Amino acid sequence: DVKVTQSSRYLVKRTGEKVFLECVQDMDHENMFWYRQDPGLGLRLIYFSYDVKMKEKGDIPEGYSVSREKKERFSLILESASTNQTSMYLCASSLRPGGGGYEQYFGPGTRLTVT
Amino acid sequence: GIQVEQSPPDLILQEGANSTLRCNFSDSVNNLQWFHQNPWGQLINLFYIPSGTKQNGRLSATTVATERYSLLYISSSQTTDSGVYFCAVAYGGATNKLIFGTGTLLAVQP
């Protein structure tokens, strides 16, 4: 079974802090993704990575950066956390399609509260 | 960009009833997935079904790609089926970015 793990289920941080959210997958997937989920707005893509050290912006990258130093690990970084970044963060991974799509698998999510 | 619409937005069922959830999408896709989000927020993979029909126990799904819709059938519903059901699609390129629908909130009452 594919397993995607996230470093924390719940996290509380203060405004201005630097926050790291970690995601690890064990299936040698090329693609990894970070989404956030907000009531009324659904799930939106923040960033994705299709290979080590490669990244592309998603739909809402402002205020975030990412790091992928190893294939199995994809980190989301909030450089200076703000209250509007309070949200549920979901990591996902998939194989890299060669012209078709591949099933995406999600981690359990991190509920981040910024006070 | 591609639009993904789910219906109904909310559904209340008695235990044992059957239901059909619908997902319409506005363009050709190369990936379509159905998820169940449990009360703790985790997205559980139900089906990867860009076309055709699949069944898994009491759940089945059909995607008619040429007509741009997918259906999720839940038979003999149980209280543990409660939660939000999402349809998500990906299209074009090799990045496999998913676009999510707004979900169907299902409540199964005992």
On whether any CB of chain A is under 8 Å from the CB of B82, the answer is no
Q: Please list every residue in chain B whose beta carbon sits closer than 8 Å to the beta carbon of residue A97.
A: 30-31, 94-96
Cross-chain residue pair B42–A104, CB shorter than 8 Å: no
Query: Is-contact B12 B107, C-beta < 8 A?
Result: yes
Q: Select from A58, A103, A107 the Cβ nearest to the Cβ of B48.
A: A103
- Chain B, nearest residue to A88 by Cα: B41
pLDDT tens per residue, range A75-108 = 999 999 999 999 999 999 988 766 556 889 999 9
Window 10-49 of A: residues touching B by CB (8 A cutoff) are 31, 33, 37, 42-43, 45, 48
Task: Tell me the C-alpha distance between B45 and B26, whole Å.
Answer: 23
pLDDT tens per residue, range A49-79 = 988 989 999 999 999 999 999 999 999 999 9
Q: What pLDDT sits at residue B95?
A: 66
Query: Which of A38, A43, A55 should be substituted to probe chain B, the one whose Cβ sees the most B Cβ atoms within 10 Å?
Result: A43
pLDDT tens per residue, range A8-22 = 999 999 999 999 999
- Percent of chain A surpassing pLDDT 70: 95
Q: How confident is the model at residue B93 (pLDDT cuts 50, 70, 90)?
A: low
- Percent of chain B surpassing pLDDT 90: 82
Q: Select from A42, A104, A109 the Cβ nearest to the Cβ of B96.
A: A104
